[in-house]
Every structure is written in structure tokens, then in C-alpha cells.
Structure 1
Amino acid sequence: MIRAVDIREWRNHDVVDPKGHKIGVLEAVYVNTTTDEPAVATVRTGLPTRQHLVFVPLDEALLGPDYLKVPYAKSLVKKAPSIGTDDVLPAEQEQAIFHYYGMAYQPGAGGERQLARR
């Protein structure tokens, strides 16, 4: 498992798909609020004048010397739920990320968010 303190050091490094195609640049890491383990990353994509942040799960992610390899194809990640580069993930949009990747969404017992940005 990737530790949050380690993955923060990879901010601004390339994020690549299983074939090594560059998806974008690692922007931030969101941890699972129950376990405090890295769960999802935001990846900066798009043209320099029209960038946005797409979400990608970190399960089975591999760290390389200057990249983070995720187990999802570039084409899938590029169409994932996204936010603007200066935006914050609204609580009501968390579930869409999990559903997009076919993952179960489990908010806290009191309705707390499942993700927190680190």
C-alpha cells in the first residue's frame, strides 16, 4: 500500500496508464476518511489554457522513478469525473467517482465523506 506521506512527494510527476501512456500530472491525493490510506488522486490534464483535474483510484498503483502508474487506460481516466484546477470536490460528487470506476461507495455512518484531500 502506498503511504500518503510518500505519495505527496510525487506531486507534479507524470501519471501513466498500464501501457506507459502519459495521462497527466499528479495534482493531489485523497485519502479514505475511515482508513486514512490513499484512495484517489487528481490528475491535471488538458491544454495549458484549459486544464482540469480528473479523478483516478490508487488501488494497485505502482510508483516508478519519476511516474505513478495506475491500472486504468488513459482513455478511461480522461473521461472520468473532473473538477476545475481551483475547485474542491463537492461531497455530493464523491459517489460519481466510485460509480464511474465500478467501486462501492460507503460514506460514514453519520453521512461523513469517504474522501479527504491531503
Structure 2
Amino acid sequence: MQTDIDPRSLIGRKAFDRDGHKIGTVDEVYLDDATGQPEWAAVRTGLFSRDAFVPLEPSTVVENTLRVPYDRALIKDAPDFGVGRHLSPEQELQLYHHYGLDIGSPGPSPCSGAGT
């Protein structure tokens, strides 16, 4: 993700999938505990819906929107952990597997919410 953007500035931005379909609005940003870098965003997928976690790498910010390079159906099927709580290493691992991402280290660092 673009590192020159304050993670808190993502909150409230619209999020779109790889095909340009609206996913929802960024509700929270989760930082990696070890690095402090933004790692996940919780996107509110609808008025009465839930938040879906999306990876911020390899997502990009384009014209004040978050562009997530995954299909909307995959995003909406992401594991639901609720927002406002710390992601456990097991939850983060589930998200990595769901999106087919490499962990990049022997074990994922838990993430903490940085927004709202």
C-alpha cells in the first residue's frame, strides 16, 4: 500500500473491488503490532451488514478511494471477527489464507485497530 498516507485518513473512504464495484466504506484500519504499518482495513459492506477485512497490501488509494485487488464476493466471504478488537495471530492467519497471501515470516504479528 502507499506508505505516504496516514492510516487514519483511510477511515470513511469508499472501497471498491478489482472490477470497480463498490464494497463499502472503510470503518477501521489495523496496524501490524511489530512494524506499526497499516495491514488490514475493516470495510462496512452495507447498512445492516458487517465489516469485511481486506488486506492493505497490495491495495492502493486512487482518487480518494481504496482500491482492493480482489473480487467483491471473495471480500464479502472473508472471516468475520467484528471490529474494535485486536486481531489474534490465528485470526490474521485465517485472513492471509482467505486471500491467498504469503505470510512472509514464521508467524504473523497480531494487529491492533487504529481507527474510530
TM-score, normalisation: structure 1: 0.78
1:95 corresponding residue in structure 2? 93
Structure 2 alignment gaps of length 5 or more? none
CA contact (8 A) 2:18 2:69 kept: yes
Task: Please tell me whether residue 23 in structure 1 is matched to residue 19 in structure 2.
Answer: no
Query: Where does structure 1 lack aligned partners over 5 or more consecutive residues?
Result: none
Residues 4 and 35 of structure 1, relative CA distance in 2, 3 Å threshold: farther
Contact kept, 8 Å, 2:26 with 2:41, in 1: the verdict is: yes
* Partner-residue secondary structure (3-state), 1:93: helix
Q: 1:9-38 CA distances to partner (integer Å, 9 max, x unpaired)?
A: 121111001211101110111122222211
Residue 61 of structure 1: aligned partner: 59
**TM-score normalised to structure 2 length:** 0.79
Which residue of structure 2 aligns with residue 76 of structure 1? 74
1:5 CA drift (Å): 5.6
Q: CA RMSD, aligned part only? A: 2.2
The correspondence for 2:113, drawn from 93, 102, 117, is 117
For residue 64 of structure 1, report the CA deviation from its aligned partner: 1.8
How many Å separate the matches in 2 of 1:3 and 1:117? 17
The SS at the match of 1:9 is: helix
Structure exhibiting the larger radius of gyration computed from Cα positions: 1
Are the counterparts in 2 of residues 26 and 41 from structure 1 also a CA contact under 8 Å? yes
